[in-house]
């Protein structure tokens, strides 16, 4: 189990050094050069030697508050965690840095106007989690350090600059210039990985008095309709976790190259456009990103080896919110699908010698890139563990515990160890009852894992288990299809995928259904023209890693398909986020 005194291996910052408390960040966004030209005036909590992580950033100068040069030394770049600068924070506690980002900054994606829906204006957005904020802001990149900020973002006047923060103003930037400055402020201290910015041609619609959606004009009406239940979702979340502390909860629909389904940037969740389905069936993504407002953004994992504290708890909340809004049956079906994903990632890690990454508390070194370690395991195994705790003490008692937990640790980063100590103090004996060590320090899924029992899941699972073509599926929901397709054995002959062509799954509107079928087809070796067309279409239009990485993996393990996959990647690459590009390249590297 991670030891409390060990420092976060993914940051050069050392506990005890002066911490950043506030940043005044000035950013000039240049679409022509694909760089952010920035100054950061950082206030620290005390004077003394300190360290800031950075990656690919060009430092122009570092000065003190009187504008005298401040000597600094550079720590060499590490392939996973990047480099750093070290300097002595002066008595004034203020340090001023003038710098420029690199056009290939890992935390920034720059899209040409052709890559947007509107095709009229370029777009850019940040993705900080886990180690990417340091590619656009020199910072203490460990989630243990939290800071507030004031930002002024200068952008072309046809565009808007949004941040996960409070909007202060929008005004002209200097006379005779076609640029505006948007000012944002974050008064609540947040870890570096939650700093976020997006710039583009964006419209807004209010849904409730504290929720609004932003999207490109082409998407705004559909997005508003899709998220109309957000008021109810927020009420359910607050009943569970206590008052929402961040004021607003706005949602930004990004272009389809966004590498995740959603990202919980405080006050402004970033979302993938494919969750706008016209049916509300992806509401769990919103429930999930909202739930992070408590577990993740208020209580934060102390390091990336404790990621389950963010994602497992949040997935547990996601289940509770689904259950309250759509009923137990829906929640169970959703969980059954997540369990398929869990099994898949478990198998993949066991097959590749990475079984140590199947623990909840993962011992990571700085050579383990959190982007590589990422899987659904901390989500689903983590949520199961929380559910075990709930079942051991009963829901009523557990719900009171949840509120005390959040009250106790809000705005604090905690380790798994500290969490367990708190549980033991509050719910004495429960850890032993659930065999917590098997969960936290054990590999795989412990034998006492809770079972999912759902009527709808059972129907789909039965057909899959008996290798049936589901002729009674006309009344199936998308989720039932997804569960069926993900449960089919990969030992089946390719004729099974061929028989399924009668259902037109390559054209399913729901991307989860389409993707699940395509993955099954590739994994059993079935690729007719229609599958090929649909795979290529998906890979060249969507950048979410959950979809594209398994498809590339399935193609890359067969020599003929590998060449084809590389051709698709060449075509798709310019539309992918740098984080996704790195992961796809890794798949190719490992398969050659």
Q: Which residues of the shown chain bind ligand BES in the complex (CB under 6 A)?
A: 129-130, 260-264, 284-285, 288-289, 292, 311, 374, 379, 546
Q: Which is nearer to ligand BES, 51 or 314 (CB)?
A: 314
> How far is the C-alpha of 558 from the C-alpha of 563, rounded, in Å?
9
Q: Which is nearer to Zn ion, 311 or 345 (CB)?
A: 311
Minimum gap (Å) between residue 262 Cβ and ligand BES: 5
Please count the residues of this chain forming the interface with Zn ion, following the rule CB under 5 A: 2
Tokens of residue 409, six digits? 């640790």
Q: Which stretch binds Zn ion (CB under 5 A): 99-107, 195-203, 274-282, 305-313?
A: 305-313
Minimum gap (Å) between residue 2 Cβ and ligand BES: 18
Q: Which is nearer to Zn ion, 307 or 517 (CB)?
A: 307
Q: Which helix (H) or strand (E) holds 76?
A: strand 72-78
Residues 131-150 that bind Zn ion (CB under 5 A): none
Q: Which is nearer to ligand BES, 244 or 564 (CB)?
A: 244
Residues whose CB falls within 8 Å of the CB of residue 102, separated by 6 or more in sequence, listed in order = 35, 56, 57, 58, 135
Minimum gap (Å) between residue 379 Cβ and Zn ion: 7
Q: Which is nearer to Zn ion, 216 or 339 (CB)?
A: 339
Q: Which is nearer to ligand BES, 107 or 200 (CB)?
A: 107
* Residue 40 binds which of Zn ion, ligand BES, none (CB < 5-8 A, kind-dependent): none
Minimum gap (Å) between residue 575 Cβ and Zn ion: 24
Q: Which stretch binds Zn ion (CB under 5 A): 64-72, 129-137, 303-311, 544-552?
A: 303-311
Q: Which is nearer to ligand BES, 371 or 438 (CB)?
A: 371
Beta strands in 288-441 (DSSP E): 299-301, 412-414
* Residue 285 binds which of ligand BES, Zn ion, none (CB < 5-8 A, kind-dependent): ligand BES
> How far is the C-alpha of 207 from the C-alpha of 220, rounded, in Å?
12
Residues whose CB falls within 8 Å of the CB of residue 133, separated by 6 or more in sequence, listed in order = 107, 126, 139, 141, 192, 193, 195
The phi, psi pair for 105, rounded to 5°, reads: -50, 130
* Distance set, CA 561 to CA 151, 486, 551 (Å): 47, 21, 11
Q: Are 92 and 120 in contact (CB under 8 A)?
A: no
* Residue 130 binds which of Zn ion, ligand BES, none (CB < 5-8 A, kind-dependent): ligand BES
Q: Are 460 and 487 in contact (CB under 8 A)?
A: yes
Query: What region, left, alpha or beta, does residue 394 occupy, with left being phi > 0 and alpha being psi -120 to 50 degrees?
Result: left
Minimum gap (Å) between residue 33 Cβ and ligand BES: 26
* Residue 226 binds which of ligand BES, Zn ion, none (CB < 5-8 A, kind-dependent): none
Active site residues: 289, 379
* Residue 260 binds which of Zn ion, ligand BES, none (CB < 5-8 A, kind-dependent): ligand BES
The phi, psi pair for 304, rounded to 5°, reads: -75, -10
Q: Which stretch binds Zn ion (CB under 5 A): 50-58, 309-317, 395-403, 517-525?
A: 309-317
Residue 437: Cβ within 10 Å count: 14
The DSSP bridge partners found for residue 111 are 123
> How far is the C-alpha of 127 from the C-alpha of 119, rounded, in Å?
22
Cα of 455 vs its chain's centroid, Å: 31
The phi, psi pair for 293, rounded to 5°, reads: -55, -30
Minimum gap (Å) between residue 150 Cβ and ligand BES: 25
Minimum gap (Å) between residue 260 Cβ and ligand BES: 3
* Residue 324 binds which of ligand BES, Zn ion, none (CB < 5-8 A, kind-dependent): none
* Residue 262 binds which of ligand BES, Zn ion, none (CB < 5-8 A, kind-dependent): ligand BES
Q: Are 306 and 416 in contact (CB under 8 A)?
A: yes
Q: Is 278 exposed, middle or buried (0-12, 13-18, 19+ CB in 10 A)?
A: exposed
Minimum gap (Å) between residue 292 Cβ and Zn ion: 6
* Residue 261 binds which of ligand BES, Zn ion, none (CB < 5-8 A, kind-dependent): ligand BES
Three-class DSSP category at 551: helix
Q: Which is nearer to ligand BES, 374 or 569 (CB)?
A: 374
* Distance set, CA 231 to CA 162, 392, 499 (Å): 22, 32, 43
Q: Which stretch binds Zn ion (CB under 5 A): 311-319, 381-389, 409-417, 437-445?
A: 311-319
> Which residues contribute to the site for Zn ion (CB under 5 A)?
311, 314
């Amino acid at each position: 189990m991670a030891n409390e005194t060990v420092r976060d291996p993914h940051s050069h910052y050392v506990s005890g050094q002066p911490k950043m408390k506030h940043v005044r960040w000035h950013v000039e966004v240049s679409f022509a050069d694909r760089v952010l030209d920035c100054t950061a005036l950082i206030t620290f909590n005390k004077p003394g030697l300190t360290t800031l992580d950075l990656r690919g950033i060009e430092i122009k100068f570092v000065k003190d508050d009187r504008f005298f040069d401040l000597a600094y030394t550079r720590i060499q770049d590490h392939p996973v965690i990047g480099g750093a600068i070290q300097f002595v924070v002066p008595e004034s506690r203020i340090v001023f840095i003038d710098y420029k980002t690199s056009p290939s900054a890992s935390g920034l994606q720059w899209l040409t106007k052709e890559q947007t829906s509107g095709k009229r204006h370029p777009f850019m957005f940040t993705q900080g989690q886990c180690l990417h904020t340091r590619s656009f802001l020199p910072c203490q990149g460990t989630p243990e350090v939290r800071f507030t900020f004031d930002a002024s973002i200068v952008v072309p006047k046809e565009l808007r600059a949004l941040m996960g923060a409070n909007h202060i103003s929008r005004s002209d930037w200097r006379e005779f210039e076609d640029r505006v400055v948007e000012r944002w402020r974050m008064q609540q201290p947040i870890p570096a990985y939650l700093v976020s910015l997006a710039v583009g041609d964006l419209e807004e619609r209010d849904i409730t008095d504290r929720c609004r959606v932003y999207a490109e004009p082409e998407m705004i009406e559909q997005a508003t309709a899709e998220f109309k239940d957000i008021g109810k979702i927020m009420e359910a979340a607050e009943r569970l976790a206590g008052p929402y502390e961040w004021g607003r909860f706005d949602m930004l629909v990004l272009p389809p190259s966004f590498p995740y389904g959603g990202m919980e940037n405080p006050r402004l969740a970033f979302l993938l456009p494919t969750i706008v389905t016209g049916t509300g069936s992806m509401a769990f993504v919103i429930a999930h990103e909202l739930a992070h407002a408590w577990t993740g953004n208020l209580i934060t994992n102390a390091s990336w080896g404790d990621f389950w504290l963010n994602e497992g708890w949040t997935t547990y909340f996601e289940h509770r919110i689904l259950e309250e809004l759509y009923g137990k049956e829906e929640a169970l079906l959703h969980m059954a699908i997540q369990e398929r994903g869990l099994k898949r990632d478990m198998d993949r890690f066991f097959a590749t010698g990475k079984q140590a990454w199947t623990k909840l508390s993962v011992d990571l070194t700085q050579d383990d890139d959190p982007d590589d370690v990422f899987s659904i395991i901390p989500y689903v195994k983590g949520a199961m563990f929380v559910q075990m705790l709930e079942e051991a003490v009963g829901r009523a008692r557990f719900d009171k515990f949840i509120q005390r937990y959040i009250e106790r640790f809000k705005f604090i980063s905690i380790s798994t160890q500290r969490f367990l100590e708190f549980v033991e103090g509050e719910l004495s004996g429960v850890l032993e009852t659930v065999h917590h060590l098997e969960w936290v320090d054990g590999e795989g899924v412990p034998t006492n894992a809770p079972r999912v029992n759902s009527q709808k899941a059972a129907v789909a699972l039965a057909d899959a288990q008996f290798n049936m073509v589901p002729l009674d599926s006309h009344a199936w929901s998308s989720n039932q299809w997804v569960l069926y397709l993900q449960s089919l054995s990969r030992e089946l002959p390719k004729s099974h995928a061929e028989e399924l062509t009668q259902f037109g799954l390559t054209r399913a509107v729901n991307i989860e259904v389409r993707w699940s079928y395509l993955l099954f087809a590739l994994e059993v070796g079935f690729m007719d023209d229609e599958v090929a067309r649909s795979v290529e279409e998906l890979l060249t239009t969507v950048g979410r890693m959950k979809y594209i990485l398994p498809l590339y993996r399935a193609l890359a393990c067969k020599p003929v398909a590998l060449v084809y996959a590389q051709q698709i990647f060449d075509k798709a690459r310019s539309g992918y986020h740098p984080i996704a590009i790195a992961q796809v390249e890794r798949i190719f590297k490992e398969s050659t």
